[in-house]
Amino acid sequence: MWTVRGLVKHYPAGRTRLRRRSADAPGAAPVRANDGIDLDVRRGEIFGLLGPNGAGKSTLVRQLTGLLRPDAGSITLLGHDLVAHPERAARLIGYLGQESTALDELTVALAAETTGRLRGLAPGTARAERDAVLDELGLTDIAQRPLKRLSGGQRRLACFAAALVGERPVLVLDEPTTGMDPVARRAVWAAVDRRRAERGTTVLLVTHNVIEAETVLDRVAVIDRGKVIACDTPAGLKAMVDGEVRLDLVWRDEPPLELPEITALREQAETAGRRWTLRLPQDRARAVVASVTAGEAFAALDDFTLATPSLEDVYLALGGSQKGLVKA
């Protein structure tokens, strides 16, 4: 129902956000933010875009929602050509972007009601939908507070509520749960599930949060440097690194490098301060745990954890260009 083929988007050199210094150099190349993206999102699915900072996710989403014109490629949503008719996206998609500045001056109730009115609801219907959605998300008590006086998580939830008013068949959520507490997160996923079950709503979700991605997504496209480097169910992707485990060792102070087994481990470890992360076959991990917990090294160890692979490990196994997915 949502088909994307050969999508390309360049930003001119010199207007780059993250690479400003190199882009200012004379002759700097334009940024190829999306570099030939193909996607097929099915009706009723919760489809994720996962990738590190600067991978090109927001650029892709802005094109998919008709806000940014691609340099090349095609986008069709529910039979509509969104490259030729980007204005049609607003009738098909409820979009929650990363920023809420447009709604910040309004109260929670007015933000929801106004969104409903802008989407063509009659005044009475907009008010009724507003009340229902605020109640569903537990926002009734703060309905009369302006968004700019709320905490980051509350503001995010209020914007999510507004995006739900005036039902659209597709929801695009760009990191919807950032800053939310667990109660608010659960309310978001319950609201998404309900719409999918009752109306077959399709959801495109941009996320950095690996745990959330693994629990809520039906399928996920891993994006790196403007390309889709893998696309499958979370379980399908994780099967690629089956048999590997992640071992984290946290040293109290300095690692005991006088011990040869520890020096050998350092070669394979990714280090971040006192933490060493190793990705190892299961039996090798067991042997390493046995040696660091039984021997002299144990006294120097503050903590250790063994974990099954996550989508982060999949990203690294696929040759991802960054050290990981986690937002800096």
Ligand X SMILES: Nc1ncnc2c1ncn2[C@@H]1O[C@H](COP(=O)(O)OP(=O)(O)OP(=O)(O)O)[C@@H](O)[C@H]1O
Q: Which residues bind ligand X (CB under 6 A)?
A: 11, 15-19, 31, 33, 51, 53-59
**Minimal CA–CA distance to 175: which of 188, 190, 193, 194?**
188
Cβ 95 vs Cβ 104: under 8 Å: no
Task: Specify the residue, 31 or 134, whose C-beta has the smaller distance to ligand X.
Answer: 31
Longest dimension (CA), the chain: 75
Find the radius of gyration of the CA atoms of the chain: 23
The 2-11 sheet, strands edge to edge: 31-41, 2-11, 72-77, 80-81
Task: Specify the residue, 97 or 255, whose C-beta has the smaller distance to ligand X.
Answer: 97
**Closest separation in Å from C-beta 312 to ligand X:** 14
Partners of residue 40 on adjacent β-strands: 3
Task: Specify the residue, 1 or 229, whose C-beta has the smaller distance to ligand X.
Answer: 229
Partners of residue 5 on adjacent β-strands: 74
Other CB atoms within 10 A of residue 222 CB: 24
**Closest separation in Å from C-beta 11 to ligand X:** 3
Q: How far, in Å, CA of 112 to CA of 125, rounded? A: 12
Task: Specify the residue, 190 or 326, whose C-beta has the smaller distance to ligand X.
Answer: 326
**Closest separation in Å from C-beta 159 to ligand X:** 16
Task: Specify the residue, 183 or 326, whose C-beta has the smaller distance to ligand X.
Answer: 326
**Closest separation in Å from C-beta 260 to ligand X:** 41
Element spanning 263, H or E = helix 260-268
**Closest separation in Å from C-beta 315 to ligand X:** 13
